[in-house]
């Protein structure tokens, strides 16, 4: 981080917190109590931790603050109950996170607006939080707002966890986490690994690895690395094109790693992990939605246990791309189904607000620039 402030308690795994307490002369069991206060009860200060000695609370407040990041902008989509928070970081950078409701049953949405059908919005069973892992992004995918302001820095594990805690303190029960916000998660691999450990701790949020998804644009060496390290989380691959030429036009990283290399890395992760891969595919009008694209995507899926998410593109201001027509998306889906491929049309949440990656931050930065 670009400052000399004390490290936040949110940056500590449970094991690290135990080690710190023992080193300071305190019982190791206090770590579980602190975790429970923070992650299960959602307190915002050490003063609220009533079963901790006052001397320990004072010491913790001095040496590892319970870092509550201010929300400097927020939006809510009344049509599907999506929330978006823009957080201020200690060095002045901003980072955003999105809260999306999970419904108890099948929910119908309007393909044009994303609005949830009347009556379906009452069965919310929990919430998914989409987390950012970097301030900005250096990969500059042409369809994404995140790269328009450039890459600033990696986030710490505590800064990533704080995004989850902002929603929990707002009374929203977070049941799933996806690393699909601003930044490339595998480009900040160490902090993401640590964040997952904190999310998984039984004394904390106690999220199963099956409820955590990590997305990547296709960083091949890192995909092999997390496979060898035995990560058990779900892996989502941002594909978005079916030829190396087109993918390189949309995603500059693709110039380094071709589709064959990406597929091999995905298969290796799958062999090590034992779970199917999600393929994320933005549907952009006249760009990647032709019958030939559908045929090439079906070929890419061959030999790979996967689920395809077709996502109508959420256009960014002044961007060159538009979403595919609903009928074209359905034709594309039907083509994949004929090849026995598991496929879903996933309509974006928060379509009446700046819910796509980087949009709220971009709008905020542009307003500050005047």
Is the CB of residue 348 less than 8 Å from the CB of residue 57? no
Other residues' Cβ atoms within 10 Å of the Cβ of residue 27: 11
| CA-based nearest residue to 278, from 233, 243, 248 | 233
What is the Cα–Cα distance from 204 to 165, expressed in whole angstroms? 11
Other residues' Cβ atoms within 10 Å of the Cβ of residue 150: 11
Q: Are strands 212-216 and 234-238 parallel, antiparallel or unpaired?
A: parallel
* Token pair recorded at residue 117: 């059908």
- As a whole number of Å, the CA-based R_g of the chain is 21
Is the CB of residue 240 less than 8 Å from the CB of residue 143? yes
* Token pair recorded at residue 38: 């923070």
Other residues' Cβ atoms within 10 Å of the Cβ of residue 55: 9
| CA-based nearest residue to 249, from 140, 121, 146, 93 | 140
Helix (H) or strand (E) holding 279: strand 277-283
Catalytic positions, written as ranges: 96, 357
Q: Which residue has the tokens 């004394």?
A: 203
3-state helix vs strand vs coil in the chain, percent to 5: 40, 20, 40
Those residues with Cβ within 8 angstroms of residue 165's Cβ, 6 or more apart along the chain or in another chain: 10, 38, 39, 42, 68
């Amino acid at each position: 981080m670009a400052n000399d402030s004390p490290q936040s308690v949110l940056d500590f795994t449970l094991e690290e917190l135990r080690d710190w307490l023992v080193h300071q002369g305190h019982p190791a069991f206090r770590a579980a109590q602190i975790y429970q206060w923070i992650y299960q009860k959602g307190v915002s200060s050490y003063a609220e931790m009533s079963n901790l000695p006052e001397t320990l609370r004072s010491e913790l407040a001095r040496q590892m603050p319970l870092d509550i990041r201010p929300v400097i902008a927020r939006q809510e989509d009344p049509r599907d109950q999506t929330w978006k928070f823009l957080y201020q970081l200690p060095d002045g950078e901003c980072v955003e996170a999105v809260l999306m409701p999970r419904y108890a049953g099948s929910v119908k949405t309007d393909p044009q607006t994303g609005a949830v059908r009347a009556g379906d919005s009452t069965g919310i069973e929990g919430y998914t939080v989409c987390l950012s892992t970097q301030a900005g992004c250096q990969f500059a995918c042409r369809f994404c707002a995140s790269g328009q302001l450039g890459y600033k820095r990696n986030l710490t594990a505590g800064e990533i966890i704080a995004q989850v805690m902002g929603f929990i303190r707002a009374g929203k029960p977070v049941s799933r986490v996806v690393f699909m916000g601003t930044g490339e998660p595998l480009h900040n691999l160490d902090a993401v690994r640590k964040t997952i450990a904190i999310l998984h701790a039984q004394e904390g949020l106690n999220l199963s690895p099956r409820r955590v998804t990590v997305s990547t644009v296709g960083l091949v060496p890192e995909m092999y690395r997390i496979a060898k390290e035995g990560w058990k989380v779900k892996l989502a691959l941002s594909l978005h094109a079916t030829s190396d030429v087109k993918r390189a036009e949309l995603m500059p990283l693709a110039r380094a790693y071709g589709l064959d290399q990406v597929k091999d890395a995905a298969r290796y992760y799958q062999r090590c992990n034992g779970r199917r891969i999600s393929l994320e595919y933005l549907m952009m009008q006249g760009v990647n939605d032709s019958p030939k694209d559908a045929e090439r995507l079906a070929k890419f899926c061959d030999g790979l246990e996967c689920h395809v998410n077709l996502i109508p593109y959420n256009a960014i201001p002044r961007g060159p791309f538009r979403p595919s027509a609903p009928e074209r998306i359905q034709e594309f889906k039907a083509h994949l189904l004929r090849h026995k491929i598991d496929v879903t049309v996933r309509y974006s949440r928060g379509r009446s607000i700046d819910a796509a990656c980087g949009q709220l931050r971009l709008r905020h930065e542009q307003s500050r620039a005047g």
